[in-house]
Amino acid sequence: MKVTVVGGGLAGSEAAYALLKRGFEVVMYEMRPDKSTPAHKTGALAELVCSNSLKSELLSTASGTLKEEMKLFDSVVLRAAEGARVPCGGALGVEREIFSREVEKILSSFSGFTLVREEVTSIPEGGVTILATGPLTSEKMAAALADVTGEDYLNFFDAAAPIVTADSVDPDHSFFASRYGTGDADYLNAPMNKEEYLAFYEALTTAERAKQEVDGNYFEGCMPIEVMAEGGVDCLRFGPLRPVGLRHPVTGEKYYAVLQLRKENAAGDLYNLVGFQTGLTFPEQRRVFGLIPALREAEFVRYGVMHRNTFVNAPKVLDAEFRVKGREGVYVAGQLSGVEGYMESAMSGMIAGLSAAARLSGRAFEPFPETTVMGALTRYISTENKDFQPMNANFGILPPLEARIRDKLARKTAYAQRAIKDMTAYAARYERA
């Protein structure tokens, strides 16, 4: 039996893998590289466009817990990530090109997998189709989905951070360290004193922004640095430039503000400016970010960009399996579905694939336990919410623990342990059915 997957990003790749592993044929359509988007640079499957970090692996975090849940179903994203790792403290960082090649290699190893490089402009009739075209879905596909759902789209602006060459960062004004000494000093830190920070802040808040049809509806997880700065002069010092937990490893010096840079590739010759998503014009990025002492001579290999992202009003459009209501053979996965984040997008594709595999085999799909991150996120996107916004993995959407735990770390660990225990039992039931 053949399933159509439209979109070769993280969600589409995860959906395809879930189906291929269970004996189904998959035809995947990917419009890149013939037709690209404002954020993509290649035609590679599962291209990471905003960051090379898949976030924390620590079990005391919802992101780490989500990864453990997905491992129970053999996530292709996590399999590929293992072969593309780069040092990233307690997070899972990958070299983008190696990661993408590994995802495509795994999918192509299945005889039932067919990759078609062309744009799909309408939703196929009959059969099962998983739409994973991403938040930058083409206008024609967006119009086709709007016709099917009968609902308006919600829009927000998303932003990506710049990347600089490692050897252009001034070593006399930077140092390697991880916050609070965790990890293996994987971050390159660019500190500022008070005078330097205030000069940077003034330039940032008065800099020219790229001409966009900005409606002010940004998603908090990728808010442009210049918009974040509008919250006040100290706003950035409690956000991406927070200096807490960072001292010079030799002198012990403390700083007024610190920008962290993260390795972009395994060779360590490229670094990503962490939290510096931006919509400033390219010349202004060069000028303003160059006020940070470590970046005065920085060579930018990619400037930050801002683009419009699109997602459906999921509670009205989708059920907890990411199926379009009234069109049970059509699924919507990825950021288009109202989840936010790389792993969350992959998760939605996995769920769509698992649901489709179960239903095509003639059995119902059991809802995920609400005590798991996967279960809580599916409940979130399918529960009525008049102010619906995309959601990351977090423990706040899980049901409370039976016993009250005051210690914050112990409480998070308890959420994680409960989630993994319940998902382990669920995964065993799914595979036995």
Which pLDDT score, from 0 to 100, does residue 384 have?
A: 87
Asked whether residue 375 falls in the same domain as residue 334, the answer is yes
Calculate mean pLDDT across residues 323-341. 91
Q: How does pLDDT run across 213-232, given as a tens digit for each residue?
A: 555 566 666 789 999 999 99
Question: Token digits for 193?
Answer: 């004193």
pTM for the predicted model, two decimal places: 0.78
Q: Residue 212's domain spans which residues? A: 160-308
Q: Is the pLDDT score of 375 beyond 80?
A: yes
Asked whether residue 118 falls in the same domain as residue 190, the answer is no
Q: How far apart are CA 267 and CA 252, in angstroms?
A: 28
Q: How does pLDDT run across 26-44, given as a tens digit for each residue?
A: 999 998 887 777 667 787 8
| Pairing, β 113-116 against β 25-29 | parallel
- State the Cα angle at 159 between 227 and 147, rounded to 5°: 115
User: Structurally, how many domains does the chain consist of?
Assistant: 2
Calculate mean pLDDT across residues 190-195. 97
Calculate mean pLDDT across residues 49-66. 90
Asked whether residue 133 falls in the same domain as residue 216, the answer is no
Domain boundary (270, 285, 308) is at 308
Q: Is the pLDDT score of 82 beyond 80?
A: yes
Question: Token digits for 269?
Answer: 């010759």
Asked whether residue 250 falls in the same domain as residue 134, the answer is no
Model confidence band, residue 156 (pLDDT cutoffs 50, 70, 90): low
Asked whether residue 293 falls in the same domain as residue 321, the answer is no
Which pLDDT score, from 0 to 100, does residue 20 have?
A: 98
Give the percent of the chain with pLDDT over 70. 94
Asked whether residue 62 falls in the same domain as residue 111, the answer is yes
Least confident segment among 149-153, 201-205, 231-235: 149-153
Q: How far apart are CA 9 and CA 83, in angstroms?
A: 18
Q: Which of 55-59, 140-144, 159-163, 423-427 has the highest mean pLDDT?
A: 423-427
Which pLDDT score, from 0 to 100, does residue 13 have?
A: 98
Axis crossing angle, helix 62-71 with helix 373-382, rounded to the nearest 10: 100
Axis crossing angle, helix 342-360 with helix 373-382, rounded to the nearest 10: 80
Q: How far apart are CA 296 and CA 283, in angstroms?
A: 14
Asked whether residue 264 falls in the same domain as residue 365, the answer is no
Contact 15, 350 (CB under 8 A): yes
Which pLDDT score, from 0 to 100, does residue 363 have?
A: 94
Q: Is the pLDDT score of 205 beyond 80?
A: yes
Calculate mean pLDDT across residues 113-137. 91
Model confidence band, residue 174 (pLDDT cutoffs 50, 70, 90): very high
How large is the greatest C-alpha to C-alpha distance in the chain, in angstroms? Answer: 67
- State the Cα angle at 13 between 8 and 17, rounded to 5°: 145
Asked whether residue 206 falls in the same domain as residue 282, the answer is yes
Least confident segment among 144-148, 287-291, 312-316, 411-415: 144-148
Contact 5, 120 (CB under 8 A): no
Model confidence band, residue 124 (pLDDT cutoffs 50, 70, 90): confident
Asked whether residue 238 falls in the same domain as residue 282, the answer is yes
Which pLDDT score, from 0 to 100, does residue 152 have?
A: 67
Q: Which of 36-45, 346-355, 377-386, 388-397 has the highest mean pLDDT?
A: 346-355
Calculate mean pLDDT across residues 203-208. 96
Q: Is the pLDDT score of 358 beyond 90?
A: yes
Asked whether residue 275 falls in the same domain as residue 207, the answer is yes
Q: What is the CATH number of the domain that holds 218?
A: 2.40.30.260
Question: Token digits for 177?
Answer: 């360290």
Asked whether residue 328 falls in the same domain as residue 347, the answer is yes
Q: How does pLDDT run across 252-297, given as a tens digit for each residue?
A: 999 999 999 998 877 788 899 999 999 899 999 999 999 999 999 9
Residue with tokens 């989905």: 145
Contact 382, 45 (CB under 8 A): no
Which pLDDT score, from 0 to 100, does residue 147 have?
A: 82
Q: What is the CATH number of the domain that holds 351?
A: 3.50.50.60
Domain boundary (284, 308, 332) is at 308
Q: Is the pLDDT score of 75 beyond 60?
A: yes
Domain boundary (287, 308, 329) is at 308
| Pairing, β 257-263 against β 53-56 | unpaired
Axis crossing angle, helix 282-289 with helix 194-206, rounded to the nearest 10: 170
For the chain, the average pLDDT equals 90
Asked whether residue 16 falls in the same domain as residue 84, the answer is yes
Which pLDDT score, from 0 to 100, does residue 38 have?
A: 67
Which pLDDT score, from 0 to 100, does residue 157 have?
A: 67
- What are 94's strand-pairing partners? 85
Q: How far apart are CA 127 and CA 120, in angstroms?
A: 16
Q: How many CB atoms lie within 10 A of CB 222?
A: 21
Q: What is the DSSP letter of 105?
A: H
- State the Cα angle at 347 between 367 and 145, rounded to 5°: 90
Which pLDDT score, from 0 to 100, does residue 348 have?
A: 98
Which pLDDT score, from 0 to 100, does residue 424 have?
A: 98
Model confidence band, residue 145 (pLDDT cutoffs 50, 70, 90): confident
